[in-house]
A and B are shown apart, each in its own frame.
Chain A
Amino acid sequence: MINSGDTAWVLASTALVMLMTPALGFFYGGLVRRKNVLATIMQSFFILCMISVQWVLFGYSLAFGPDHGHLIGGLDWFGLNHVGLKPDPDYAATIPHQAYMAFQMMFAVITPAIITGGFAERKRFKAFVLFSLLWSTVVYDPIAHWVWGAGGWLHRLGALDFAGGTVVHISSGTAALVAALVMGRRLSVEHHSTEPHDATMTILGASLLWFGWFGFNAGSALSAGALATSAFVVTNTATAMAGLTWMTLSWVQNKQPSVLGVAAGAVAGLVAITPASGYVNPMGALLIGAGAGAACFGAAQLKPFLKVDDTLDVFAVHGIGGIWGALATGLFATVSVNAAGGNGAFFGNPHQLLTQAIAVGATLLYSGGMTLVILKVIDVFVGLRVHPEEEHVGLDSSQHGELAYQI
């Protein structure tokens, strides 16, 4: 039976998560050079439009439709056939089915948008369009089915992922790393400054991401009550602690606390708490946040040594943050927070850690492998990178014929 409080909260959360995609555009936009800011923001905004359509046509069916082989949902719900306004008890018994579909749509939107940070400043727009559509269909939709779909094999295994540590962050972080490796380094990165052109835009983006993430995590309770409250509190706690940790490490390293560092740390905390948000208590969340700040900061420092031009540290934040968060769920989960979850190692069940590791490994391998295939195919037919002259003048001009700042 439909509960109006639950429905109101899920619809509000849907709007909050929707805001996260343009927020990501701002977060990334401030970090790139001025000549590429519009193209960077465009990638996020375009994905919001494209995946909104893909989802209602066939993406939702593939991810959440009636199970086929525990691997995929199939096309039984193509065009939202059978997805009406009565609740679907497999997913959310107290809200209209279309409310659940819309909420999940915003997760499907932001996941490919996250990847754009890995190949920022050098991808052809046509290649990006194809990549995003193919990746969402053959990578995101299946993984979402494995973890959240009725009958999905990771769901049956008992993997805990409340709001998308594996489905969203490990998958997109891995894809960004593979894309950065396949596409190669930006042309001028060794010889010219690639400093952020507008740190204030990045801080604005991070702030809006933090705000929207309350919908991402607390909305995943699919009800307006105790579990949503718990998820809300742990989200804020982990994020705050992660921001403090990254800032502290940057302060020790550089003798001055980094403004961009506290923002990046906060995002790392948001990522890490995502899978755990419905299963851990605030103290567990604090430790998850501290771990995310440290692990993601450390990973970001490795980039110059690994010679991978993951432009905006997507793997360091989303990949490593997602891996830590998924494994930490296996440490700190407790049924005292969510009886439908499980206990982690600290609460007497070390086996949960192994289950989480299986989910992490499966996501890493599948996302990495399929991303490689998709990129290679697109490179053959369309070409991945812009021409060197186009990269030099900037993507805003070469891909869109528009400039951000008419100064």
Chain B
Amino acid sequence: MTLAIIAGIVFLAHVAVWLGIPGTRVTESAPADVVMETA
């Protein structure tokens, strides 16, 4: 049970980090594929 509790804490710590990291804003967009537009 002790190992399970420690394991659960480790996993929750990961989730907390994912939720806590501020997102990045990429202002430069990747080159767009050339798209043939039909009328």
Q: Does A256 contact B (CB under 8 A)?
A: yes
A256→B24 contact, CB < 8 A: yes
Determine if A290 is an interface residue (Cβ-Cβ < 8 Å): yes
Residue A284 at the chain B interface, CB threshold 8 Å: yes
Q: How far is the CA of A251 from the CA of B21 in the complex (A)?
A: 8
Residues of A with C-beta under 8 A to B21: 251-252, 255
Determine if B17 and A287 form an interchain contact, defined as CB atoms under 8 angstroms apart.
Answer: no
Contact across chains for B11 and A255 when beta carbons are under 8 A apart? no
With contacts A283-B7, A286-B10, A346-B3 known, is A251 near B17, CB below 8 A? yes
Are B3 and A332 neighbours in the complex by a CB distance under 8 Å? Answer: yes
- The residue in chain B whose Cβ has the minimal distance to the Cβ of A285 is B7
CB-contact partner of B11 in A251, A281, A286, under 8 A? A286
Chain A stretch 259-318: residues in CB contact (< 8 A) with chain B:
281, 283-284, 286-287, 290
Contacts of B1-39 to chain A: CB distance below 8 A: 3-4, 6-7, 10-11, 14, 17-18, 21-22, 24
- Complex: A286 Cα to B13 Cα, angstroms: 13
Stretch at the interface among A80-88, A241-249, A371-379: A241-249
- Asked whether A287 lies within 8 Å of B24 as measured between CB atoms, the reply is no
Does A251 lie within 8 Å of B3, measured CB to CB?
A: no
Q: Contacting A287 at CB < 8 Å: which of B7, B14, B18, B22?
A: B7
Q: Nearest Cβ in chain A — how far from B33, in angstroms?
A: 17
Q: Compute how far the CA of A77 lies from the CA of B31 in the bound complex, rounded to whole angstroms.
A: 62
* Complex Cα spacing A244 to B7, Å: 13
Residues in B with CB closer than 8 Å to A281 are 3
Cβ contacts under 8 Å, A256 to chain B? 24
Pick from B6, B14, B22, B24: contact of A248, CB below 8 A.
B14
A256 (CB) vs chain B CBs: closest residue: B24
- Chain A residues contacting B10 (CB-CB under 8 Å) are 241, 286-287, 290
* Given the contacts A248-B17, A251-B17, A287 and B11 also touching, CB distance less than 8 Å: no
A255 to B24, CA, bound (A): 7
Chain A nearest Cβ from B20, distance in angstroms: 9
Q: Are B3 and A283 in contact (CB under 8 A)?
A: yes
Q: How distant is B36 from chain A, measured CB to nearest CB, in Å?
A: 22
The answer for the CA separation of A299 and B7 in the assembled complex, in Å, is: 23
C-alpha gap A286/B9 in the complex (Å): 11
Please measure, in the bound complex, the distance between the C-alpha atom of A238 and the C-alpha atom of B14, giving whole angstroms: 15
B17 touches A283 (CB 8 A): no
Contact B11 A241 (CB under 8 A): yes
Cβ B4 vs Cβ A283 within 8 A: yes
Q: Report how far A286 CA is from B7 CA in the complex, Å.
A: 6
- Asked whether, in the complex, the Cβ of A244 is within 8 Å of the Cβ of B14, the reply is yes
Centre residue among B7, B11, B21 by max chain A CB count within 10 A: B7
CB neighbours of A284 from chain B (8 A): 3
How far, in angstroms, from A251 to B20 measured CA to CA in the complex?
Answer: 11
- CB of B18 within 8 A of CB of A248, answer yes
In the bound complex, residues from chain B placing their C-beta under 8 Å from that of A287 are: 3, 6-7, 10
Q: Identify which of A252, A255, A286, A332 contacts B17 (C-beta below 8 A).
A: A252
Residues of A within 8 A of B3 (CB): 281, 283-284, 287, 332, 346
Q: Given the complex of chains A and B, what is the CA–CA distance between A256 and B18 in angstroms?
A: 10
Specify which chain A residues have a CB less than 8 angstroms from the CB of B17 in the assembled complex: 248, 251-252
Query: Which A residues are closer than 8 A to B by beta carbons?
Result: 241, 244-245, 248, 251-252, 255-256, 281, 283-284, 286-287, 290, 332, 346
**A-B pairs with beta carbons under 8 Å apart, 11 shown:** A244-B11, A244-B14, A248-B17, A252-B17, A252-B21, A281-B3, A283-B3, A283-B6, A286-B10, A287-B3, A287-B10
Other A-B contacts than A251-B21, A255-B22, A287-B10, 15 sampled, CB-CB below 8 A, are: A241-B10, A244-B14, A248-B17, A248-B18, A251-B18, A255-B24, A283-B4, A284-B3, A286-B10, A286-B11, A287-B6, A287-B7, A290-B10, A332-B3, A346-B3
Chain B residues in the interface with A (C-beta under 8 A) = 3-4, 6-7, 10-11, 14, 17-18, 21-22, 24
Across the A-B interface, the 7 shortest Cβ-Cβ residue pairs: A283-B3, A286-B7, A283-B7, A283-B4, A290-B10, A255-B24, A248-B14
